[in-house]
Structure 1
Amino acid sequence: MRAPVYSSLLLVASFVQAQQIYIGTTGPTPRPQCSVSTSLAQPSYTFRNFSFTLSETVRTATSIPSPTTTITYGPAYSDASRILPYINYTSWGSWNPNATTSASDASNPYGSAAWTSLWQHANPPNFTEKGLYSTTVSPTPIPSNELVLPPRDYFGPTDCYNFPEGFMFGVSTSASQIEGATAEEGKAPTLMDILVQDDRPKDYVTNENYYLYKQDVERVAAMGGVRYYSFSIAWSRILPFALPGTPVNQQGLDHYNDLINFILDKGMLPVVTLLHFDTPLQFYGSNLSTAADRPLIGYVNGAYQNETFVDAFVNYARIVMTHFASKVPYWFTFNEPLLYSDNGVSVDHVIKAHAQVYHFYKEQLNGTGQISIKFNDNFGVPRNVSSPADVYAANHFNSFQLATFCNPIFLGEDYPDSFKQTIPDYVPLTADDLAYIGGTADFLGIDPYTATVVTPPTPGNIGSITNCAMNSSSPYFPYCVNQTTVNQYGWNIGYRSQSYVYITPTYLREYLGYLYNTFRSPVVITEFGFPVFAEAEKTDLSDQLFDTPRSIYYLSYLSEVLKAIWEDGVNVKGAFLWAPVDNWEFGDYDAHFGVQVVNRTTQERRYKKSFFDVVDFMKARGIT
């Protein structure tokens, strides 16, 4: 039986309502920076001899120097390997659906024939690998003419704050969105290969980062200022057969080891996510069509509810962490798990798998780095802050997405009522569970791309939220609120791209305060970015590179981060741009999030204006 939550959440709503205000004004925008009123004097007009006096200031990016010392964050694999069971290392090669010969080791359950059968089972349509590369490409120095900064925008940030010492400024990517080499060097199929059975297109090459990673890292390092390079490891590259006791792919380990080493050589620090949506094929069983079934909670069925998932994920994490613990200072277990949770069991498995990995790293491996988990939530804000129903709806929306995971992990507390009243198969957490799970994250990772204006399904009616929560067939289920993009006066809340993304910097500041004060943990912005409208349709390269809306997005968000730190007392530890290059956005390349453009024919990368602008902004505020 699910308990009613009207009275308790209304109390919360009333409290939050008291914290949020609109300041009404009838006059023009004030100009506090103007110390003398322009009405005190009149201009003087005169003729002069004309000459061209404008000049351009040439500014160039400066690469990060290579480190002179080595810092370790855990034992070397040679010392740590004793805590793992026996591991069989092997390699498999690549899959060609049109091959005329077949493997002869059919009796080996983990041989080449068995590995090939995984791809035959996945059966991705029209599969071809048309990449330009098949081996790792050596990096080339970035020409100095590529590092000349573009002209400054006329309007820009006017703050006088610096980022605190140790602030983490980086870029973020994921394996399935940039690597390519989809069925090469032993990688097995994943959810990303199953989903292409629907109408969405898939480019099996993506950015060929699997072979061009050194050039990509070189280009980021050449900009200077970027000290952290965040990426995900593809589980199916490490364990093609996914489950404990199956062979480990030596080529996959070697690839990520080389990537980590090169990041370190270039003066940056690696940040590793263990699972970024690409769940291995094995967790879907014989009927792969279930991957496309509408889940109860998220957008996609990530198969976290599979009965073997927790043990398999923890085994995978133990192998990866043991190999790379000495070199990696920051780890994330899952990326945005709510979006790929099928049901209540999925959530239970994610939380418990995360906790096991945390305890393994801290207590068995004795790692000295930090661990967290990345969450999604386009901050729900009430359409009318004077409406108790709208405030209630916003709290319901945010708690369902965040407190479902954050209550147990950060506070050692039970799931929120918004989750328990909505998801009938949620798994109750015992006192022992909460004691084990609580405190298993060193900071809170969040991907706050934009904000969402929220009202109850029936305007002004709090009960309509409760009614929806009891009815999974409701069009508003499972969040059970009406999500919009306009305020109470009919205006969009920010400049819009072609997707859901709006530029909402002031809401970000409020959101950071909500996160810090609700879950009592330092916050890291693990992804944020903006796809300029119709950028993919621009045929002129210079138009693609001059991406001022993206610059506005980044600089305004980072300005509000500074205000949150210095004026609101919020501990924001870092921010990671999504993404260093335009990538496959789980369906196509139309939404360009990158601060570099990628030529899909030649794989050439070029810096966009926004990359220069944001690095310049950070350097001017203490990030070197």
Structure 2
Amino acid sequence: MSFPEDFLWGAATSAFQYEGANLEDGKGWTVADERCQAKSQIQADSSVASDGYHHLEEDVKLMKELGLKSYRFSISWARIFPDGEGEINNAGVIYYQRLIDLLNENHIEPIVTLLHFDIPWALIEKYEGFVSRKCIDAFEKYCRTCFELFGDKVKYWLTINEQNVMVMMADMLGLKKDDPKLNLKFVQCNYHMYLASAKAVIACHEMCPDALIGPCVSYPTLYAETCHPDDVALAYDMQDIMAFAPMETYVNGTIDPIVMNKWIKDKTVPEILENDETILKAGVADYLGVNWYCTQTIGTTSKNGSFNIGVEIDIKKNPFLEYGHWDWSYDPKALKMALKECYARFRKPIMICENGWSEIEEIRDGKIHDSKRIEYLHDHIEQMEKAIDEGVNLIGYQHWSFIDILSSSQGFDKRYGLIFVDRDNFNIKECQRIKKDSFYYYQTIIKNNGLGEENGKQ
């Protein structure tokens, strides 16, 4: 069976990590800008990032040379509406129109994420962001504007990137970590973002009937540290709460009973209005976007809680796995398992929206030899092919990332790209683009529509 002929071989970035120009041409300040600025004394911020805003034509030419069938990127809400609502910023519209036109001219399918960690800061100041239902209304207006402006040229949309991660981190929501009502606000934001996503889906179906739209969920496969029933039960429950419960809401339009019972137990039940159930049911996803990188091994043997979800767990290193510089595991066989699990549960087409390997890299003799990324690509694509052969409806793969981008946690030390950006945390230089060895490897994979007989590990 292998990969279908129309498989969307792609790569991905997000606005705040790639574009730079964070206050240029009328763009407003965002939560992502605020988070990056808070760390600007120790790493790069979003002011320049990969300088994609000023390298647009060059980068699309590189996409074409790579052979991309698709490119996943995000629209910065604050580049369209600097205050999150109100007047449209025409310069922002022109930028994204140019990007989408260039992609279509080069036969690269645009895959557009509507919100990727960058809520407009003005909405935080006015409403506390998604704590308020007014932010849902602002998001719906923004989405409808995007569908009106770009809907005739975009077939694939994603609503919110990794909501399930955002609602565990105060600074991603623009909230204060010492707020005594923080846990309640986490839940309220989570619930309101489900409604916002559903309203985006409803609007897309209404305005762009030929388009497909879905969420983008972070899905780290969890292993139990031991076969002790407590560890096994913890891994099972945590995977349900962190990944499958959000998918349930997006795909079936219902709040998972496990989540609702937890809200009741924790006395954090959000405000639920009479028409909400109808909105959630009407705004179900056409496909499921999944961000999958690695596995995590968890146990109950100590109290070093690493997830802010009211459960104390301990993340362990798996002695059977290799780990990278930032302690992310190398576990390609688990990708097939994850894809099969998602498809068995939800029976929706799946698009891998992020998957990649990060390294500390430097130029040697004008080149970047990233053999580990090549190995990562080979081994994970091999498992994708096996998942398809076993019946999973996998429609695309967006490698993270197309080009080196700003990591909000590690600046420009942490590189994921197929293309090197010649800058570091504090010396911006010219942001020259240099193709890595993995660029050429992935180019061959796309040309062969998979690994092919001769495209083994290099």
TM range (shorter): 0.7 to 0.9
1:366 offset after TM fit, Å?
A: 4.2
1:416 offset after TM fit, Å?
A: 4.2
Question: Quick one: which of 297, 301, 314 aligns to 1:453?
Answer: 297
2:237 corresponds in structure 1 to 396
- The change in CA–CA distance for 1:187 and 1:477 in structure 2 (over 3 A counts) is closer
In the alignment, structure 1 residue 239 sits paired with structure 2 residue 90: no
1:573 offset after TM fit, Å?
A: 1.4
1:502 corresponds in structure 2 to 329
TM-score normalized with structure 1 length: 0.64
1:539 offset after TM fit, Å?
A: 5.1
Cα deviations across residues 404-425 of structure 1 (Å, max 9, x unaligned)? 3222221233324156426532
Question: Matches of residues 434-445 of structure 1 in structure 2 within 5 Å?
Answer: 434-438=277-281, 440-445=284-289
Between structures 1 and 2, the one with greater strand share: 2
**In structure 2, C-alpha distance between the alignment counterparts of 1:428 and 1:391, rounded to whole Å:** 33
**In structure 1, C-alpha distance between the alignment counterparts of 2:396 and 2:188, rounded to whole Å:** 32
2:422 corresponds in structure 1 to 599
Secondary structure in structure 2 of the residue aligned to 1:597:
strand
Question: Quick one: which of 581, 588, 600 aligns to 2:403?
Answer: 581
1:618 offset after TM fit, Å?
A: 3.5
The answer to whether the 8 A contact 2:296-2:315 is kept is: yes
Cα deviations across residues 141-166 of structure 1 (Å, max 9, x unaligned)? xxxxxxxxxxxxxxxxxxxx631232
- The change in CA–CA distance for 1:614 and 1:475 in structure 2 (over 3 A counts) is closer
TM-score normalized with structure 2 length: 0.86
In the alignment, structure 1 residue 571 sits paired with structure 2 residue 397: no
Secondary structure in structure 2 of the residue aligned to 1:345:
helix
Question: Matches of residues 299-448 of structure 1 in structure 2 within 5 Å?
Answer: 303-341=129-167, 342=170, 343-363=186-206, 365-384=207-226, 386-417=227-258, 420-421=261-262, 424-427=267-270, 433-438=276-281, 440-448=284-292
The answer to whether the 8 A contact 1:529-1:577 is kept is: yes
Question: Quick one: which of 253, 257, 261 aligns to 2:101?
Answer: 261
1:206 offset after TM fit, Å?
A: 1.5
Cα deviations across residues 184-204 of structure 1 (Å, max 9, x unaligned)? 100111112222135553332
Question: Quick one: which of 32, 35, 59 aligns to 1:216?
Answer: 59
In the alignment, structure 1 residue 548 sits paired with structure 2 residue 371: yes
**In structure 2, C-alpha distance between the alignment counterparts of 1:338 and 1:183, rounded to whole Å:** 28
Cα deviations across residues 62-107 of structure 1 (Å, max 9, x unaligned)? xxxxxxxxxxxxxxxxxxxxxxxxxxxxxxxxxxxxxxxxxxxxxx
Matching residue's letter, 2:159: T
Matching residue's letter, 2:199: Q
Cα deviations across residues 237-291 of structure 1 (Å, max 9, x unaligned)? 1111212xx111111101100110001111111111111111111122289xx9x
1:623 offset after TM fit, Å?
A: 9.5
1:552 offset after TM fit, Å?
A: 0.8
The percentage of aligned residue pairs carrying the same residue is 26
The answer to whether the 8 A contact 2:43-2:412 is kept is: no
**In structure 2, C-alpha distance between the alignment counterparts of 1:163 and 1:445, rounded to whole Å:** 18
**In structure 2, C-alpha distance between the alignment counterparts of 1:405 and 1:496, rounded to whole Å:** 28
Question: Quick one: which of 119, 123, 143 aligns to 1:283?
Answer: 123
Cα deviations across residues 177-226 of structure 1 (Å, max 9, x unaligned)? 111111110011111222213555333211211121111011011122x1
- The change in CA–CA distance for 1:541 and 1:578 in structure 2 (over 3 A counts) is farther
Q: Number of aligned pairs?
A: 423
Instruction: Show structure 2 runs of 5+ residues with no match.
Output: 171-185, 424-428, 453-458
- The change in CA–CA distance for 1:614 and 1:479 in structure 2 (over 3 A counts) is farther
Matching residue's letter, 1:325: G
1:445 offset after TM fit, Å?
A: 0.6
More off after superposition, 431-440 vs 371-380: 431-440
In the alignment, structure 1 residue 197 sits paired with structure 2 residue 38: yes
Secondary structure in structure 1 of the residue aligned to 2:354:
strand
Matching residue's letter, 2:24: E
Between structures 1 and 2, the one with greater helix share: 2
**In structure 1, C-alpha distance between the alignment counterparts of 2:278 and 2:312, rounded to whole Å:** 32
Larger Rg: 1
Question: Quick one: which of 184, 193, 203 aligns to 2:24?
Answer: 184
1:612 offset after TM fit, Å?
A: 1.5
**In structure 1, C-alpha distance between the alignment counterparts of 2:105 and 2:441, rounded to whole Å:** 25
Matching residue's letter, 1:248: I
**In structure 1, C-alpha distance between the alignment counterparts of 2:305 and 2:451, rounded to whole Å:** 48
1:95 corresponds in structure 2 to none
**In structure 2, C-alpha distance between the alignment counterparts of 1:474 and 1:323, rounded to whole Å:** 44
2:173 corresponds in structure 1 to none
Secondary structure in structure 2 of the residue aligned to 1:304:
helix
**In structure 2, C-alpha distance between the alignment counterparts of 1:175 and 1:334, rounded to whole Å:** 13
**In structure 1, C-alpha distance between the alignment counterparts of 2:134 and 2:342, rounded to whole Å:** 33
1:446 offset after TM fit, Å?
A: 0.7
The answer to whether the 8 A contact 1:192-1:278 is kept is: yes
The answer to whether the 8 A contact 1:455-1:481 is kept is: no
The answer to whether the 8 A contact 2:422-2:430 is kept is: yes
1:395 offset after TM fit, Å?
A: 1.5
- The change in CA–CA distance for 1:479 and 1:574 in structure 2 (over 3 A counts) is farther
1:431 offset after TM fit, Å?
A: 8.7
Matching residue's letter, 2:406: W
Secondary structure in structure 1 of the residue aligned to 2:194:
helix
- The change in CA–CA distance for 1:477 and 1:231 in structure 2 (over 3 A counts) is closer
The answer to whether the 8 A contact 1:548-1:609 is kept is: yes
- The change in CA–CA distance for 1:492 and 1:360 in structure 2 (over 3 A counts) is same
Matching residue's letter, 1:486: K
In the alignment, structure 1 residue 514 sits paired with structure 2 residue 354: no
Secondary structure in structure 2 of the residue aligned to 1:545:
coil
**In structure 1, C-alpha distance between the alignment counterparts of 2:30 and 2:147, rounded to whole Å:** 21
**In structure 1, C-alpha distance between the alignment counterparts of 2:10 and 2:258, rounded to whole Å:** 36
**In structure 1, C-alpha distance between the alignment counterparts of 2:230 and 2:76, rounded to whole Å:** 43
The answer to whether the 8 A contact 1:545-1:609 is kept is: yes
